[in-house]
Structure 1
Amino acid sequence: MADPPPDLTARPQRLDAALPWLAGVPLCALALQPISDSDVPMHAAVGRWMLRQGAILPTPDPLVWTDRGGDAPHEWLAQGVLGAVADAAGLGALRMVLLALAVGCLLLLARSLRRAGAGPAATAALLVGWTAAVAPHLAMRPHVFGWWAALAVLGLGLADPRPWSLRCAVGWGVATALWANLHSSAVAAPLYAALAWVDAAWHARADLRGAWWRQPTLRWIAVAAGALCQPLGPGIVPYVLRSQAINGPLSDEWQGLLRADVLRDHPQVVAVWAAAAVAVAMALRTPRLSFPGVVAAAFALAHAAWTRRMTVFLFVPALLAGRRWGQWLGWRPLAWVAVAMAWAAWVPDAVQRAWSLPAIDGRVFPVKAAAFLHQTGLRGRLFNPDPWGGYLSWQLAPQYQVFLDGRWLLAGEQVVRDGLAMQIRRPGVDALFERYGIEVFLQRTADYVQVPPPDPTRFALAWRDGQAVVLVRKGPNWMDNVAKVCAFYRSFAWLAPHGRWAGSLRGAAGQPSPTDVPEVMAGCGP
């Protein structure tokens, strides 16, 4: 009997099965890069404080001295995890947590897409799209826990076409509660469940007396109850709205959407919007849809335009809105090209940075200045740029409280604007320094040399390096701080150049110079 002919399609099928795995590698490589996001040490510092005190952050905040009670513990569980890991193994260990969450997100997304009928090629193409959407915001902060929880609750739970049993409803309610304590984006879950209810009502419009309402109602009750199971309870909704009110005017993250050059400045946002728009178009052409349906896909567009850093939570439901993605993205050559481009765009640079730089990127944080502050123990209120607040809290709390960190709601919009005015030395800045009682002033060196110096009769240089400048200001602790700076340079004489201005920092003749501020060392004596 003749041998059967060889299966010429076996090898390509095996190769295609590897496409989703290959598509996930770029995101994993990005997760292993050195920590450079300023909010990562802030969340770790907050979590460490909560663990050591055995309590959720109180008011006033123990880390930020300008706190006016404006923030709330809306992501305490994620902060506790970050604080525990960083306290046990150092900040660098948070990269492993980020890698684990990135892998979890990829697996959950792949499973959701497979359930929606996407093959390996379409799944790989969409994973590349997911990577492009989230890569600018991939940092070990609570919102990444929110990505993982959103993919589970929205992509697997609410998108499941099978009827929920009571046990299933309880399980997904608990999952939503976990999400709500990890990140406040869980408020999106009841919104999507409500949209699914509207979707079900639309499809049952010919027979509204039937039992169509039971399943969507059960799902909405489960996720709504879960979303309220966190310290703020129903207050989480006005908190999220209030956070948008302050973050919107103060952050330029979404301001580009209002400009004509949005395609150049925010291409990933445009890509996500385009994907959601195509999802709506696909949904309109499909006679019968599973959750989230046409309404949910349209809601994704409107919500992404309004909400800060929420696009990634709406990306998956928008993709699942149409069942024809497999036909559009299932072409194998397209998937292979997309994966190859993703590898070329992200993997080499990410791997090079991961191997050549330490776990904490010292080019971003004031590492040496923080060590100086720790060693000298200067007294009085510290001013710092808000991106450095978290790192300073991690290194210096409880020895120092910071002026601001990434939690702008703590102090309010006016304090943030006053902090900017003190950094760029706007008219009337002396009154601001006096009103806030600043005695220790920390600023980026690159920013300090580009603006007029502060009042030379009130300030003196204590430390300078390529990253940061530390000045001391006359106040109740002036003499004590001067003595501590002098004692520091007597003990560490080889560091004396950091107590003097470099010649390269001097301004043009006849113009105010950054070096007009005197040096503390000049009055230290032998």
Structure 2
Amino acid sequence: MPLRRRASPHGPQRPSLRRPRTWWESLGANLPWVYLSLLIAMTAGVMLAWPIVRSDTDTWFHLENGRYLFTHGAIPHQTHFSFLEPPRESVNYSWLFQALVYWLSVHWGYYGLIVLRAAVFLATAVLIARLLGSGPQGRSWWSALPAVLCTLLLFSRDINLRPHIFTYLFIVLTVFIIERRPRWTWLLPGVVIVWNNVHGIMYPVVLLIGLAYGIEYAVNRLRGRPYRPQDARQALIPLVVMMCAIFVRPRALDFFQLPFPNLEGYLHQRISEFSRLAWRDLLTIHINALIPQGLTVVNLYGLLVVMAVVRGVASRTMRLSHLLLCLGGVAMASRGVRFVHEFALLSLPLLAANPRAAPCVAEASQRPLRSSQSEGGRDAGVGRLPRPAAWLIAGLLMLIPIRWITARVPFRPAYPFSRQALPVGVATFLNQAGSGGALMNAPNSGGYLRWMLSPRYRIFMDMEQIFTDEDFYQATQAFVQAPMLRRIVSRYDPSFITAPMENQQFAGVIKEFPEYVPVFFDDAEILYASRLREPDLTARYALQEIDLLELAKHARTILGDESLSPSVLQALERLIAIDPGCGLTRYLLGLAAIQSSAYDQALSHAGVIVEQYPEWAQGHALRGRALRGLGRLDEASRAYRRALRLAPGRSVLYKELGLVFRAQHQPARAYRMLKRGVDLFGSDTSLEDLYLLGSVAREAGKLADARAVFQFMLAERVSPGETTWIDTLATELSQLTSGGIFGILPEAKGEVR
């Protein structure tokens, strides 16, 4: 059959031997970008489905500043929320972000904040993909890989709603306009004006971008490169105006006296994201169960950057602006771990222009990996990987980013807002029962307390950089050293003190201040009130009869059996009326209801816990116990399984699940669960549990195991005076005929043969 020739206005051409691509080949050719698109969409979906949670409480102090701005018509520049004297002063560099998030919260609540977070992430990720995908390599794996790593890095930071997410967006947008849309450079001044008022502390990044491209332009002119007037109009003039635009903000001259940020003191010691990078961490790549650990994602991205630099230098295609941006990013990353994201984004132009490792790698990637042929024309050695193996390896590699994302959001908390680790109940109590005043607090929860209590209450401090190292030292040491707390109390005389529940040292510290008594607690903190300043409140709500730390310890165990006194139960009922969503109080009341066989009440308490803390195993375990007591065994089984997914390996859950299977007349499954739930050799394992294990083994037909358990009880656990147990076990053993694994007979107690 003759080959068809293509008609051409330039004369005859050689016949085309290219056959049309199959759908499989088209998918393979576009697989990198299909995968990247799906990953970005999935990650944006995860961000939409993930609630506002406390990774830190900065989100709430931004909300409170936004409320102050709308209420007073002025940007806050002082610590109006703190009782520290004199007030600390600074320049608010995120006022536009604060106004935006407060406006969204007023009109759409936490849902509006979630949508904002996901939208900013999606816009940033899409711009990164467009920037890399329009480079020399197009939509190949070489351009998709850095985009995938950037997506992971963005997710780890954008999940926390703070103004830095806009900095990431504006870095990529600015570079994208300069690199890919030079006719749009007239937009850059406007972009920077918005950027500088949303997150103005990052103005050095604006200067870095402008200077990098401006220096490159000047060097090219000095080297005699061809000059076109439109180059100045499209690049140089907008860049100069862009850098000048950083002055378009309130109190601009005062603003530029701020450090970037103040890392010369001890900020890196009190805020983890400012901790310095260690060389050991930068040289470590660790992937466990397809989940990158530590700084592995950052290190892989850095490796790509190094390879791109090698490629650019070897091929003499390195642009000066790209190198300056990359070096600026390296300098920023050296100041703190939080700046590795800026380094990644500033290195994007370098990766887009030099996507492959080195010329030799580029050439090798273009050659088919076939083996040489033998004289007979057949493959003589090992060629490329078999297609199934290649697809398997590719699939595992593509699974790593998905595993990394899901590992960071394993179980979704309450939606759209989770009260986990936040003093929600303490704030509710103060708003309902208190009359205002000064509240001594630990810094970590300060942002949320500001949002909930200001302006009626003033706190000590939050985690803003406006506070000094000395302020932070006093705030933290006051909860572990009585002299420091006495120093603060003598100067400011706060009406209330709220301490983290996990800080057990504070129980000893507060004993030296008898005027302060506990009046309330929630899942995160314990509130103390001053008898001198709040006599009526302390007389009504004092909790001196309750050992709060012991209660908290009791609540951390799953299905504990400690009983509570009537006075404690009465106090818990009083607390639950003020804070119905408190998981700790609900859990303690639920356990008390189980002990009194009030399973309906226990189920009601468990339902509230599961609603407020779906990620908390105790709530599902309590629900399963209540359902088992009500005879709803299938539902109880599902509740216990859910609890096991949240708290793998908890023996009490296996024991409870075994009891459910036994009640369902499934002795084999019951025995499998009880073998994992009852520790045969545990010193604290009760005789009742051991007897249960042996009885279920007998019911399951495991006669040798049953005999072994009963013999072990007689030999090691039953004392000679416990005649009831001896008679019971002797009766059980007389009914068993097969030998046990221990070979211990009642008459030869203590001997092993």
Q: Judging changes above 3 Å, is the alpha-carbon distance between structure 1 residues 371 and 99 closer, same or farther for their aligned structure 2 residues?
A: same
TM-score (norm 2): 0.59
TM-score (norm 1): 0.82
- Name the residue aligned to 1:104: 123
- The answer to which of 207-216 and 108-117 deviates more is 207-216
- Name the residue aligned to 1:190: 207
Aligned partners of 1:503 and 1:406: how far apart in 2? 26
Judge conservation of contact 2:518–2:527 (CA < 8 Å) in 1: yes
Judge conservation of contact 1:440–1:472 (CA < 8 Å) in 2: yes
Aligned partners of 2:529 and 2:338: how far apart in 1? 37
Q: Mark the structure with the bigger radius of gyration.
A: 2
Choose which of 23, 29, 43 in structure 1 pairs with 2:39. 23
- The answer to which of 374-383 and 425-434 deviates more is 425-434
Query: Identical aligned pairs, as a percentage?
Result: 16
- Name the residue aligned to 1:482: 535
Choose which of 293, 313, 316 in structure 2 pairs with 1:287. 316
Shift of 1:284: 2.2
Gap runs ≥5 in structure 2 = 5-17, 285-292, 366-389, 554-567, 572-753
CA shift digits 1:386-421 (9 cap, x unpaired):
221221122222221222122131x32211111011
Q: Judging changes above 3 Å, is the alpha-carbon distance between structure 1 residues 187 and 404 closer, same or farther for their aligned structure 2 residues?
A: same
1:273-284 correspondence to structure 2 within 5 Å: 273-284=302-313
Q: Does 1:244 align with 2:260?
A: no
Aligned partners of 1:277 and 1:238: how far apart in 2? 35
Q: SS of 2:116's equivalent?
A: helix
Shift of 1:63: 2.4
1:423 maps to amino acid: F
Q: Does 1:467 align with 2:520?
A: no
Aligned partners of 2:27 and 2:321: how far apart in 1? 36
Aligned partners of 2:161 and 2:549: how far apart in 1? 39
- What's the C-alpha RMSD, in Å, of the aligned pairs? 3.5
Judge conservation of contact 1:464–1:498 (CA < 8 Å) in 2: no
Aligned partners of 1:236 and 1:146: how far apart in 2? 17
Shift of 1:82: 0.6
Judge conservation of contact 1:445–1:466 (CA < 8 Å) in 2: yes
Shift of 1:96: 1.4
CA shift digits 1:170-215 (9 cap, x unpaired):
3111111111111122431122221222233444443289679946
Q: Does 1:82 align with 2:101?
A: yes
1:107-506 correspondence to structure 2 within 5 Å: 107-117=126-136, 118-138=138-158, 139-154=160-175, 156-160=176-180, 162=182, 164=183, 168-184=184-200, 185-207=202-224, 214=232, 217-241=236-260, 243-246=262-265, 247-258=267-278, 260=280, 263=284, 266-290=295-319, 292-306=321-335, 309-322=338-351, 323-325=353-355, 337-347=396-406, 350=409, 353-354=411-412, 356-409=413-466, 411-425=467-481, 427-449=483-505, 452-454=508-510, 455-473=512-530, 478-479=532-533, 481-487=534-540, 489=541, 500-502=546-548, 504=550
Shift of 1:234: 4.5
Aligned partners of 2:90 and 2:328: how far apart in 1? 28
Aligned partners of 1:221 and 1:244: how far apart in 2? 29
Judge conservation of contact 1:74–1:232 (CA < 8 Å) in 2: no
- Name the residue aligned to 1:524: none
Judge conservation of contact 1:173–1:222 (CA < 8 Å) in 2: yes
Aligned partners of 2:461 and 2:427: how far apart in 1? 15
Aligned partners of 2:19 and 2:275: how far apart in 1? 62
1:248 maps to amino acid: H
Aligned partners of 1:451 and 1:260: how far apart in 2? 39
Shift of 1:472: 1.7
Judge conservation of contact 1:146–1:179 (CA < 8 Å) in 2: yes
Aligned partners of 2:212 and 2:39: how far apart in 1? 31
Shift of 1:374: 1.1
- Name the residue aligned to 1:64: 82
Aligned partners of 1:375 and 1:86: how far apart in 2? 22
Judge conservation of contact 1:119–1:326 (CA < 8 Å) in 2: no
CA shift digits 1:4-55 (9 cap, x unpaired):
9662223434544422211214532452322223111221121122123222
Aligned partners of 1:232 and 1:271: how far apart in 2? 41
Q: Judging changes above 3 Å, is the alpha-carbon distance between structure 1 residues 74 and 336 closer, same or farther for their aligned structure 2 residues?
A: farther
Shift of 1:142: 0.8
Higher relative contact order (CA 8 A, sep 6+): 1
Aligned partners of 1:286 and 1:451: how far apart in 2? 67
Q: Judging changes above 3 Å, is the alpha-carbon distance between structure 1 residues 425 and 315 closer, same or farther for their aligned structure 2 residues?
A: same
Q: Judging changes above 3 Å, is the alpha-carbon distance between structure 1 residues 313 and 339 closer, same or farther for their aligned structure 2 residues?
A: same
Q: SS of 1:87's equivalent?
A: helix
Judge conservation of contact 2:439–2:495 (CA < 8 Å) in 1: yes
Q: Judging changes above 3 Å, is the alpha-carbon distance between structure 1 residues 425 and 305 closer, same or farther for their aligned structure 2 residues?
A: same
Judge conservation of contact 2:193–2:248 (CA < 8 Å) in 1: yes
Q: Judging changes above 3 Å, is the alpha-carbon distance between structure 1 residues 338 and 87 closer, same or farther for their aligned structure 2 residues?
A: farther
- The answer to which of 248-257 and 92-101 deviates more is 248-257
Aligned partners of 1:210 and 1:466: how far apart in 2? 67
Judge conservation of contact 2:423–2:524 (CA < 8 Å) in 1: yes
- Name the residue aligned to 1:12: 28
Shift of 1:290: 4.7
Q: Judging changes above 3 Å, is the alpha-carbon distance between structure 1 residues 219 and 244 closer, same or farther for their aligned structure 2 residues?
A: farther
Judge conservation of contact 1:29–1:347 (CA < 8 Å) in 2: no
Judge conservation of contact 1:370–1:395 (CA < 8 Å) in 2: yes
Shift of 1:506: 10
**Count of paired positions:** 489
Shift of 1:318: 1.0
- The answer to which of 316-325 and 254-263 deviates more is 254-263
CA shift digits 1:218-276 (9 cap, x unpaired):
24312212222112425444314353345335323243514745647544444454444
Aligned partners of 1:407 and 1:440: how far apart in 2? 22
Gap runs ≥5 in structure 1 = 490-495, 508-518, 522-526
CA shift digits 1:108-130 (9 cap, x unpaired):
11111123334153443223211
1:159 maps to amino acid: E
1:23 maps to amino acid: L
Judge conservation of contact 1:133–1:312 (CA < 8 Å) in 2: yes
